[in-house]
Every structure is written in C-alpha cells, then in structure tokens.
C-alpha cells in the first residue's frame, strides 16, 4: 500500500511486507557534495580564488570535511608530457592538441574521473568500516543488509575550464550540484600579474588567444565565461578583498544567511527576464535602465518594430499569431540579416571572379571564407529588430526621459557600437554587461567618450557584471521551503547547498565517462 494524501508519509512495502518511508529513502540520497568549476581570462587570480574557497569551506562556518582542487593545467602537463616549468604558450598549444585528438571536453572528463574515483574510494572505506563494526548485520541474511551512500561533505574545485564543451559535459553530469564561478579582474591587473611570469613576453597576444581562438578545439573562455552561475570580480590584490567576495557566494550557495540581491543583481535579472520576450532568430537580448537607488526606469528587448510604436509581441492568450510579422512567422522563418550578408558575400566574389582575381572554380571557397572568416559574419546592421538597449531608451523616454541622465544600463550582451553611441548621447553614465560581444567597435570608435577602465569616471564606463547570474537568481534568493523562523525566531541552518540533488544518477553518469576514457587509454595509472 502507498498513500500520497496531504500530511501523510508516502509508505511502500518491500518484498517481505516490511514498510519503509519512500520520501525519507529518497531524501537520504540527497548530497551535500558540490563541484565548483572556475573560469576566467588569462591573468585572473584563479588559483588564489580556489585556495580561498578551500580555506573557507574547511572552516567551522561551513564544516566541509574535504576540499580537493583539480588543476586542469596539471592534467595537460601529465597527458601531454610537458615539464612543470613549461610556458603558458606550450600549455595552450598542448591543451588544443588534446582537445583535437580526444574531443573538446577531454579535460572535463579527466576531472570527472578524479572526482568519481575519490568518492568511490571513500564510499568503500566507509562501507568496510560499517561491516567491521556490525558483521552480523551484513551477513546477507538481514533485511538491513543494504549499505546506503555515505553523505560526504566534500567539494571538488576544478581550476579551470576553458571551453564550452567542458562546461556542457560537467552540467550534464552534475546538474545543480555544479556551480560555475566566472572570475574576472581588470585588464591592468591581469597584465601586471602576467608580466611577473612572462618577463616581457607577448602578453596581449596570449590574452587574446586565451579569450577565444578561431579553431573549434581552441580555448574559448569568452564563450564559456558568460554561462557562469556567479560572477566574481577581483579588482584588488588583497587577500581580505578576495575572501569577502568568495564568502558572499558561499553564504548564498549554502543558505547560511538570509541574503537579498544587490541593486545590480536586481537590474540584471530584469534585463535577463526582458530578453525572454524576444523572438529574434539570432539571439535574445534584454536591457534595463536603473537609477542610483536601483529603481528600474524601463526595460527593453530586441525584436521587430511595428507601425505606430512598440514591438511585435505575443498578445492575449497567445493563440492568434496571424498579425505577428516577426521573422519567425515570415517566409518560413528567414533571418534578414543572414540573407543580406549572404547576398553581399556572393556579390563580392562575383566581382572578384569577373576581375580575374579569384578563379571561378574557387568561388564557393571564396564565399565561405568571406562569410565565416571575416568581420562580415559579425555584422548586425541588416537585422529587422530594434536592439534591446534602444528599446529600453525609447521606453524610458516615453515614461520620463529626464531620469535617463546619469542612469545605469544593464544588458545581457556587450553593446554594439551603434547602441553605444546612442547611450552616450542619452547621458547614461555606465553600462553593465553579462555576455561579451567580441567584435563590438564601441571602445575603438568612441575612445573619447567610452572606456572599460573602472577607475575612469570621466567617460561612460562599460563594465562586466558582478554577482549572482540571473539563471540562479530565484534559487539563491528564494526563502527556504521550510521557512525562515520557528517559534518566532530565525532558524540557524547548517551549511547545505540550496540546490541539493540525488547521487543516484550521478555515479552512473560518471561511470560512463570513466569507461570512455579507459577505452581511449587515458585512464591508466589509477585503479578502482
């Protein structure tokens, strides 16, 4: 028998008719284990941040028993046969080679193997100890012979991921048990740190290469970083600064304090939410404008404008789309921007063929190069959509344009140069972005008015977002299901992840990854 009536335990019976609590059994599989993956551009103090996480987690504030830091650079050295004193350039090239040979997620797979084997060893040790203490209980004749998973208060820190495929694999294995921390430092601090290591080497070349290489198996930090769960800006070199930034995240992740979002987190969540209104075929972008007190003046998103004002959007019950003239509902869903870029590429190659510059039998190759290997691929001028920043400005102007002066604009993507110049003209004092737009010419074309230097208050600053990512906003800032108080007093909770998951599927998925590594002869040297 079982029952799911409100207020009653869900009870089942085993093969011998003995009742047990299903919910309690399921809850017992929920784990306090966490996996933290760090991601950040070259020169960011990732190793120091990892050590700050380890020290705090092992403190009495959080009570974790074991924190292991897995350095993927060490995996590259080991699998690539590199010396421990090898250069950064050699590490990058050997990492690229490993990804090319074994897939873009190979380094994440090696980290998963380490995590899986460490947990299995600890589980076996705990099981052996329990059998030794109560041998009769585990003789095989008892109904209690099943040994449950040990609730390990462990954390594994992966330092650091560089490719989106690594992130996708880690998320598919660990789900909400994984927390990705995007660590960022201002460029001048990163250059200063690298100068100490490289002694006058090609610093900026390496920074650009680390950020985003054109080859698929290259490092793609600029694509990976924006998908973090928490953005941690380390703008000072002091230990106390770094420790305080890490501690706020741990308090949120482990639910040890009652915390509310910052002004910037609220504004970016509003922008992120606004982006969901967009039906653009290219990407969804959202923006919000806020004053110094955090009051949201307006929101905007990218989409096609309609006659007499506003953008097309889903109306009423959302069932009637006959008058929706957005690209998804026109000519079978064709993107006008891509169509125009294709036409331009074909036109250029036709003229080059006619002039005898490009052989006719090479025209298809030439078209492909122009479309995919030049700045043409990044052009957005031919889109029918109004950009999110412009939509937010228009909405703010219609409501109370005077408040835009001195306001901050939050946007899910780095502004293009067209939007940037309008934001300057409107009097916006700073722009906070979530995702980079690598080809934006905003700072290049408007050096007199725009800067990425946080300390320069004489220009409009364009700065990366710092705080809880919008994708984790509701999880981190929602009250505990059991409430915040009992008998009129606030509950002091043990440090437990706010998004605990069951270990039942995790071990199985890890096993598949380890088996794949063994078949590729990349897991030798360790035994279960």
Q: What are 338's two structure tokens?
A: 């891509």
Residue-level pLDDT at 503: 83
The per-residue DSSP string of 30-75 comes to B---EEEEEE--TTS-HHHHHHHHHHHHTSTTT--SEEEEEEHHHH
Q: Which of 24, 30, 25 is nearest to 497 (CA)?
A: 30
Residue 155 in contact with residue 6, Cβ under 8 Å? no
Pairing of strands 408-413, 66-71: unpaired
The domain segmentation of the chain, as residue ranges, is 28-128+148-256+493-526, 265-328+383-471, 336-378
**Cα 300 to Cα 286: distance, rounded to the nearest angstrom:** 6
Distance, in Å, from the CA atom of 36 to the CA atom of 51, rounded to the nearest integer, reads: 12
What's the CATH number for 28-128+148-256+493-526? 3.40.50.300
**Range 265-328+383-471: architecture per CATH:** 3-Layer(aba) Sandwich (3.40)
pLDDT on residue 109: 95
Task: Indicate the SS3 state at residue 20.
Answer: strand
68 vs 479: CA distance, rounded Å: 30
| pLDDT mean by block of 10 residues, the chain; 528 residues | 39 50 72 94 92 96 95 92 87 91 94 93 80 68 51 91 95 95 87 77 77 75 90 87 93 91 96 95 94 93 93 79 85 88 93 93 91 81 92 90 91 92 94 80 88 88 94 90 84 86 86 86 53
Enter the tokens of residue 249.
């995240």
**Strand ranges in 119-176 using DSSP code E only, listed in sequence order:** 154-159
Give Cα separations from 418 to 309, 311, 446, 457 (angstroms).
21, 19, 11, 22
Q: Can you list the alpha helix ranges (DSSP code H) found in 212-362? A: 221-224, 239-253, 263-275, 336-354
**Biggest distance spanned by C-alpha atoms of the chain:** 91
- Identify the pLDDT of residue 115: 95
**Which is it for strands 408-413 and 450-451: parallel, antiparallel or unpaired?**
unpaired
């Amino acid at each position: 028998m079982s029952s799911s009536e409100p207020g009653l335990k869900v009870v089942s019976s085993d093969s011998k008719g003995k009742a047990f609590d299903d919910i309690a059994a399921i809850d017992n599989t929920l784990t306090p284990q966490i996996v933290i993956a760090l991601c950040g551009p070259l020169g960011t103090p990732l190793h120091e941040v990892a050590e700050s996480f380890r020290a705090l987690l092992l403190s009495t504030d959080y009570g974790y028993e074991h924190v292991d830091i897995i350095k993927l650079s060490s995996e590259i050295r080991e699998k690539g046969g590199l010396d421990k004193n090898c250069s950064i350039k050699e590490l990058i090239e050997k990492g690229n080679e490993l990804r090319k040979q074994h897939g873009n997620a190979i380094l994440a797979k090696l980290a998963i193997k380490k995590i899986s084997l460490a947990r299995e060893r600890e589980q076996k040790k705990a099981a052996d100890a329990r059998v030794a203490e109560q041998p009769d209980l585990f003789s095989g004749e008892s109904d209690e012979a099943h040994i449950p998973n040990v609730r390990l208060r462990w954390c594994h820190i992966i330092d650091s991921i560089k490719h989106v495929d690594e992130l996708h694999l880690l998320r598919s294995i660990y789900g909400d048990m994984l927390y990705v921390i995007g660590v960022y430092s201002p460029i001048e601090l990163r250059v200063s740190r690298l100068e100490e290591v490289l002694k006058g080497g090609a610093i900026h070349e390496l920074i650009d290469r680390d950020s985003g290489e054109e080859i698929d198996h290259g490092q793609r930090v600029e694509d990976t970083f924006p998908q973090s769960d928490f953005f941690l800006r380390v703008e000072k070199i002091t230990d106390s600064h770094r420790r305080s930034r890490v501690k706020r995240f741990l308090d949120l992740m482990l639910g040890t304090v009652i915390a509310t979002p910052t002004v910037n987190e609220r504004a970016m969540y509003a922008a992120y939410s606004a982006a969901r209104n967009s039906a653009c075929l290219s990407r969804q972008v959202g923006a919000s404008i806020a004053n110094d007190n955090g009051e949201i003046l307006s929101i905007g998103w990218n989409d096609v404008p309609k006659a007499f004002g506003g953008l097309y959007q889903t109306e009423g019950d959302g069932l009637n789309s006959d008058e929706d003239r957005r690209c998804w509902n026109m000519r079978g869903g064709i993107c006008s921007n891509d169509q125009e870029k294709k036409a331009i590429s074909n036109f250029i190659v036709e003229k080059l063929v006619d002039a005898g510059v490009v052989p006719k039998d090479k025209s298809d190759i030439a078209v492909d190069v122009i479309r995919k290997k030049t700045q043409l691929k990044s052009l957005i001028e031919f889109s029918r959509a109004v950009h999110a920043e412009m939509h937010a400005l228009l909405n703010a102007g219609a409501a109370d344009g005077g408040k835009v002066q001195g306001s901050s604009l939050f946007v899910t993507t780095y502004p293009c140069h067209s939007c940037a110049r309008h934001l300057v003209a409107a009097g916006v004092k700073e722009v906070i972005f979530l995702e980079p737009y690598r080809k934006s010419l905003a700072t290049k074309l408007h050096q007199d008015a725009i800067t990425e230097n946080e300390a320069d208050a004489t220009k409009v600053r364009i700065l990366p977002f710092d705080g809880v990512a919008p994708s984790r906003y509701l999880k981190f800032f929602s009250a505990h299901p059991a409430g915040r108080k009992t008998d009129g007093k606030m509950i002091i909770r043990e440090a437990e992840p706010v998004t605990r998951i069951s270990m039942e599927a995790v071990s199985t998925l890890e096993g598949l990854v380890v088996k794949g590594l063994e078949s590729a002869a990349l897991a030798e040297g360790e035994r279960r």
